[in-house]
Amino acid sequence: MKTWNVRHTKTWVSTTLACSLLLGGTSISLSLPTYAATVSEQTQTSQTTNTNWNQPEKKALLHELAMSDWAAEDFYRDPDNEEYQAVKAASDKAYKLLLHPSTTTAQLKAATLTLKKKLDAYINLYIQDASIVERQTFQMVRVLQSSVGTTPGTYPQDAADDMYAVIEQVQSVVYDESANIEQFRQAYRSYIAGAVQLRDRMNIDRSERLNHLQIQIEQAEEWINQQPDSSELQKLKADFDRQTSDLETLLNSKSVLLVIEAASRSVEAAYERLKQA
């Protein structure tokens, strides 16, 4: 494994940084983006869901959603902050679109563009110099030095190497005395894009997730068997079956984490719809 050093490290020796698996202020977990709509909100959206999570437009929107969540962790979740609220509103709307069966490709593209614009305004508010960018890249290096491996929650070496390359490129701007604010902002966006891609490649325990999915299926079957049969219940069951089948396919393939998380959330929403029938 390569040993990487960060220029101006002494500047940050006294800084309090989390040395656990924290990335850009975000705890590494298999949770979904903070901006995502709640399951109850999703339940009201539709009775069936377009499950093609590998659709390029869906993956692009999922990536922008993850970047927005990352920035919110790096900055502040201030209810009175207009830029934050604009990003949150755009993110909530985007998630509803992702789960709606009639959402078109054009709508997905438009939602991605809208979210990007709101995120840019949020970044412009908080990136006024190189300090945040420098701090986050320094923290990322420390994380990578202790989180590369093959076990769940760690990162493959090639994914880490790609992130190191992003860090070097970003730091070349941070430590450029002639760089301006706009360059720092673009550098930050490059950093969080790289961070999201890194997390997307995190090692996960697919067997454990498949086992959890099987438990969900068994629980759903048990609940259904206790309910009076109806056409509505059968429709909801068919939707749940499709969601679980798609997630199982993703877990048995090499699908990346963002797609798996989205499919997992869709299964949860379908299960909630069943229980509310």
Two tokens, residue 166: 């992003």
Give the integer Cα–Cα distance in Å for 116 and 65. 9
Half-sphere exposure (Cβ direction) of 134: Cα atoms closer than 13 Å: 17
Predicted confidence (pLDDT) at residue 30 exceeds the cutoff of 50: no
Q: Provide the pLDDT for residue 36.
A: 40
Give the integer Cα–Cα distance in Å for 247 and 178. 49
Torsion, CA 79, CA 84, CA 85, CA 88, rounded to 10? -120
Lowest pLDDT segment from 10-14, 141-145, 211-215, 259-263: 10-14
Q: Could you give the residue ranges of the DSSP H alpha helices within 175-256? A: 181-200, 206-225, 231-251
Residue 263 near residue 55, CB atoms below 8 Å: no
Nearest 5°: the CA angle 222, 225, 226 is 95
Mean pLDDT of the residues in the chain: 83
Sign for the pseudo-dihedral over CA of 34, 36, 37, 43: negative
Two tokens, residue 3: 């040993």
Using one digit for the tens of pLDDT, what is the confidence trace for 81-140?
899 999 999 999 998 888 776 789 999 999 999 999 999 999 999 999 999 999 999 999
Extents of the domains making up the chain = 34-200, 206-275
- Report CA-CA distances (Å) from 5 to 24, 137, 168, 216, 237: 18, 11, 10, 46, 54
Q: Provide the pLDDT for residue 101.
A: 67
Lowest pLDDT segment from 36-45, 178-187, 210-219: 36-45
Name the percent of the chain lying above pLDDT 90.
65
Q: Is 165 exposed, middle or buried (0-12, 13-18, 19+ CB in 10 A)?
A: exposed
Give the integer Cα–Cα distance in Å for 37 and 42. 7
Using one digit for the tens of pLDDT, what is the confidence trace for 31-64?
334 434 443 444 344 444 456 888 899 999 999 9
- Report CA-CA distances (Å) from 79 to 21, 85, 87, 89: 27, 7, 11, 12
Residue of 177, 181, 185, 173 whose CA lies nearest to 119: 185
